[in-house]
Each structure stands twice: as C-alpha cells, then as structure tokens.
Amino acid sequence: KYPDTIYQYKSDLYPFNCDFYVPSLNLYIECNYHWTHGGHPYNENNKNDIETLNKWKEKDTKFYANAITTWTIRDVNKRNIAKQNKLNYIEFWNIEELKIWINNGK
C-alpha cells in the first residue's frame, strides 16, 4: 500500500532500527508481535504488568531477562523518544491490528 516504505529505518530523531518508516506519511511503525514485548505497553503502575514482570523474573533465564529489558526498558525508551520528538509513531501488538489499520485507509 505504501511503496515508499523503508525497513529497519533509523534517524536522528529516532535512533533505533524502526521496523518500518513510511516517508509519505512521515510515520514510524513498530511491530511488537513477539511475546517479549508484553502484548501491550508496559505500565509500572499496573497490577497485572507487575505480576507478569515478577513471573518473568522467577524464570531466571537469559531469555526472560532479555524479554524483561525489551518490555520494561527498550520499548518504553522508544515510546518516550517518539513522544519527546513529537514523531508520528504507531505500535502494533499483532498482525491483525496492522491489517485493520491498513484496511481502514490509513
């Protein structure tokens, strides 16, 4: 739908490898499909997120440690940088959300 889409795009305003960047929309897209992204934005004040985080910590493996860092630090940092730099930024948590977005003419 957007032939100008760039994969793994990085810029001065968003210094991470963004999954997709659509120049015609000036839009940064992150696809957080893998479970290590938590299925939704991490909220340190949410009881369910705290419970999930504690379960992951109990696993005590490098893989879960990486998931914890991804969900609670990396993703939060990306979101904050996007807000701070007033970027047109969207995250998808599963492929169905992306399909709905595309099919709704965005």
How far is it, in rounded angstroms, from Cα 49 to Cα 21?
29
Q: In the structure, what pLDDT confidence band is assigned to residue 105 with cuts at 50, 70 and 90?
A: low
Token reading at 12: 């001065």
State pLDDT tens for residues 17-69.
999 999 999 999 999 999 999 999 999 999 999 999 999 999 999 999 999 99
Average pLDDT of the chain? 96
Do the beta carbons of residue 71 and residue 38 sit within 8 Å? yes
Mean predicted confidence (pLDDT) in 71-75: 98
Query: pLDDT at residue 106 above 60?
Result: no
How far is it, in rounded angstroms, from Cα 82 to Cα 90?
9
Label the pairing between strands 27-31 and 88-92.
parallel
Query: pLDDT at residue 101 above 80?
Result: yes
